Amino acid sequence: MSEQVKQYSEPTWRKVLLSSQTTIQTAIGNLENSGLQIILVVDINGSFVGTITDGDIRRGLLRGLSLNSSIDSIIHRSPLVVPPQMSRETVLQLMQANAIHALPIVDETRQVIGLHSLNKLLTPCQHPNLMIIMAGGKGTRLHPYTVNCPKPLLPVRDKPILEHIIERAKEEGFHNFVLAIHYLGHMIEDYFGDGSSWQIQIDYLREEQPLGTAGAISLLQSSPETPLLVSNGDVLTDVRYGEMLDFHNLHGASATMAVRLHEWQNPFGVVNIQGVDIVGFEEKPIVRSHVNAGIYVLSPTALNVLEKDQYCDMPTLFSRLQERGDRTIVYPMHEPWLDVGRVEELDKAQKEWKNPLTSKF
């Protein structure tokens, strides 16, 4: 595992994981040093037991406990916790309604996998990571709108699709963007320039020929030092880019793909057979599958499987990484999402898209 991945897989919150046999004096020192205002207590198997705050310690000392006493008797064993899939907005509402500054993230096996901090939620992190947006496609399915206009510049609510994506990422603290352009790319450059009008930095990867949804990344002049966020240039979504980046780092992945659950209902009754025998019936069954949402996180080492200026799409890149033995994972997303790839989706976006933070499709 690279040093960069190792660094991210050991986040600050892990420093506040303590055993129930820890002394109160050690707990006090941990609270002072971490600055997170909470201790997460786990058992010998790493399962979550409860939390301790400064108030719990004070009450214990008032009861006659000493600094050398175990923290076992002051653990709050039924604290408020949240699952990893809970949205940022809901978490923030819970924390504000309950006047708490830190909220443990616990999975279904009672393992602690993170910690929400109120300060972090209220003040977005500044991310040094590059965000690459694939904006070079011809958009043939959107003819005639794209005959004289590149698809990423098509307006949705009086603003280009690409501008929605950039502003959404900027709100989360991303300021370094790279746009991969090809078809009518000069129009995109003329509109966005170097990004100074948005108080961000924009550079360009200019494809001489279409290189697919991953190939353009091979045109980067230098290898990035931190994971890349990559998005298709026609995806409107309320996904939290920063949370997806944290998820990728937490799992030590080489590549992460955002996926959405897609449901399709068969309009007919299905007959299940074996040979000529009927073995059952299903009335208009629903088929569920996960589909690629067109948003990715790639660790720097993942770019090694790309060949300079050679066509490669994202599924191929993921396959190459798997063949190499790298870990590739999915990021299940539940937020509003729309792939503006056809006229019907463009019409839907025009009618229903309001703001990436509040819109519901």
Looking up residue 79, the CATH number of its domain turns out to be: 3.10.580.10
Residues 165 and 236 in one domain: yes
Residue 25 is assigned to a structural domain of this protein: yes
Rounded to an integer, what distance in angstroms lies between the CA atom of residue 294 and that of residue 288? 18
Residues 48 and 151 in one domain: no
Q: Quick one: pLDDT band at residue 332, thresholds 50, 70, 90?
A: confident
Number of domains in the chain: 2
Residue 360 is assigned to a structural domain of this protein: no
Rounded to an integer, what distance in angstroms lies between the CA atom of residue 245 and that of residue 222? 21
Residue 321 is assigned to a structural domain of this protein: yes
Return the pLDDT at 287: 81
* Predicted TM-score (pTM) above 0.85: no
Containing domain of residue 179, as a range?
127-352
The pLDDT tens digits for 77-97 are 999 999 877 777 788 889 999
User: Does residue 354 contact residue 157 with C-beta atoms inside 8 Å?
Assistant: yes
Residues 159 and 132 in one domain: yes
Return the pLDDT at 192: 96
Provide the edge-to-edge strand list for the sheet that holds 255-265: 201-206, 174-181, 127-134, 228-232, 286-298, 255-265, 328-332
Rounded to an integer, what distance in angstroms lies between the CA atom of residue 339 and that of residue 75? 47
Residues 325 and 250 in one domain: yes
DSSP-derived secondary structure letter, 189: H
Return the pLDDT at 337: 80
Return the pLDDT at 354: 59
Domain boundary pick from 59, 87, 122 = 122
Residues 223 and 292 in one domain: yes
Domain boundary pick from 122, 155, 189 = 122
Nearest alpha carbon to residue 149 among 140, 215, 208, 194 = 140
Q: Where are the beta strands (DSSP E) in 20-126?
A: 39-42, 48-52, 102-106, 112-117
Q: Max CA-CA distance within the chain?
A: 79
What is the pLDDT of the chain when averaged over all its residues?
A: 87
